[in-house]
Chain A
């Protein structure tokens, strides 16, 4: 329903007021009348927003129409005034138009003439209202955006985590005080500068540039650890993700930085402690096992069968302890960052093939079919050779361990997106759904009737996971109880293979 329309008629002649009222109210418009200029102005001042069109007689005793027009214009420039002029007084009509009247109608006029003029003015009025509404909307939106912007800026500036936003050209467009503090550069040298000019950590710049260049829609976010400062006095964890527009085009990147120095420090102390303890533990156990070995080999005289049985069991136990210590040592090495230091370009095929060759005998002993068909793709990755051997030794020996005689272990290697993808599948006892989420946890071992006889420390898979993550990769597992297990490892492909 359209808003009610009000028309004010200011005329000193009763006949004119009544006549106009009659004609205009027939069309459903509300009509208010005033018999002189002052009265008219009072009405307008009383409700300036409710008057849509004013019909104003120019020739009135007291305050003249022209004067009234001036006053109206001073109240509100948008008020639409139609002046009623006496016959043959075109000059005054022109003058009124110059003063800002919207239209004029000469006396005498027919009802239709009046209707046409008023209707035209009302159309103008409704456009005016529409425009006013849009203007207010726009103002409100702009205000909202400004508020939102200021709110976001405040949030970002108050955050303990560092934030860096780059546009598609690699120019930093937004950063916060935390970011400049963590990266040890001034905020002014960040914003408005290209990544290459900011003297940022080179690993971080590389990651951001890769994320800006990413065309692949599966490329989501990359998480990395950075050592800041020459002596590596602080450590950051950086999460970088591309920003895409509605068409999926990369239009920039966002990096969030967390200071993990204190965590690193704790970790380092813990790892050093573990390393110290394991060395102290290892030496005496190794000596005990050595002594047991000598006795068992009858190098210290004859022993009875019963003694031999007991001593063999004792030796098994010391062996188990030594394996546990070795795993602990591996772990503390990874966490101290000493394990994955020698990255070089290599192919997983050669690594896996070597491990498969080493494991052949173990598989044959258990009558397990160990297969690694030649892959059609052989992606190059940037990795630590021994760590990679460690991963696949662990996964493949697990697969053999947990697969009953006559089963099969299949290793496959392919490429997917920017990653080399290796899977190790077995037809073994599988893993219960409840156990799945925890198998990468430290010291977690699945306890079932079938696994009781299998020697393990519960550290292997968590070591594997740490190594994979230290290479910016990921590992996942799929399994069904009794239906075999598949481990899938993703490792990022080498982006700039050496041209040879």
Chain B
């Protein structure tokens, strides 16, 4: 059975593009367009993995991630954090630190290269 991935991002264009990448690799995709909707769908959609954007207006990715990891029913779901900061040169610290603090399982910069995204997702799912 195909694995289900929940994408949480307030930018519909980005959600659509990532959805197309994942669907081309035969994943089931559910989308949420904000942090609160993301939390709700994490409960209802029963995803195998969550791709979570950081900068969202209603509730940011760090806060969402924290709540997910604090919930015993959901904490086992791997979270891949989508960060807007290019992880080159000196800006890595911020993302890394925040990523670690929020216990996200991995993080990736957007825009993403399809093969990189898929590789990371596969790695997380096979854990």
Contacts and interface: CB of A to CB of B under 8 A. Distances in A.
Contacts of B112: 290, 293
Contacts of B92: 386
Given A290-B18, A294-B21, A299-B20, A279 B89 contact: no
Interface string B27-49: 00000000000000000000000
A329 to B, nearest CB: 7
The B contact surface, by secondary structure, is helix
Contacts of A389: 89-90
Most buried by A among B16, B18, B88: B88
Contacts of B69: none
Contacts of A300: 20
Contact of B114 (A294, A330, A390): A294
Given A290-B13, A330-B89, A283 B114 contact: no
Most buried by A among B20, B89, B92, B110: B89
Contact of A283 (B11, B17, B21, B91): B11
B55 A293 contact: no
A289 B113 CA distance: 10
A466 to B, nearest CB: 11
A70 B97 CA distance: 99
A393 interface: yes
Interface residues of B, number: 25
A339 to B, nearest CB: 7
A343 to B, nearest CB: 13
A288 B16 CA distance: 11
B86 A294 contact: no
Given A293-B111, A322-B86, A326-B88, A342 B93 contact: yes
A307 interface: no
The A contact surface, by secondary structure, is helix
Contact of B84 (A282, A288, A293): A282
A323 B91 CA distance: 12
Contacts of B55: 279, 283
B18 A286 contact: no
Interface of A: 279, 282-283, 286-291, 293-294, 297, 299-300, 322-323, 326, 329-330, 333, 339, 342, 385-387, 389-390, 393-394, 467
Given A282-B84, A294-B17, A322-B111, 16 more contacts: A283-B55, A287-B14, A287-B111, A290-B14, A290-B17, A290-B18, A290-B112, A291-B17, A294-B21, A297-B114, A299-B20, A299-B23, A322-B86, A342-B93, A385-B93, A389-B89
Interface of B: 11, 13-14, 16-18, 20-21, 23-24, 55, 84-86, 88-93, 110-114
23 contacts: A283-B11, A286-B110, A287-B13, A287-B14, A287-B17, A287-B111, A289-B111, A290-B17, A290-B111, A290-B112, A291-B16, A293-B17, A293-B114, A294-B20, A297-B21, A297-B24, A299-B20, A299-B23, A326-B91, A330-B91, A386-B90, A390-B90, A467-B90
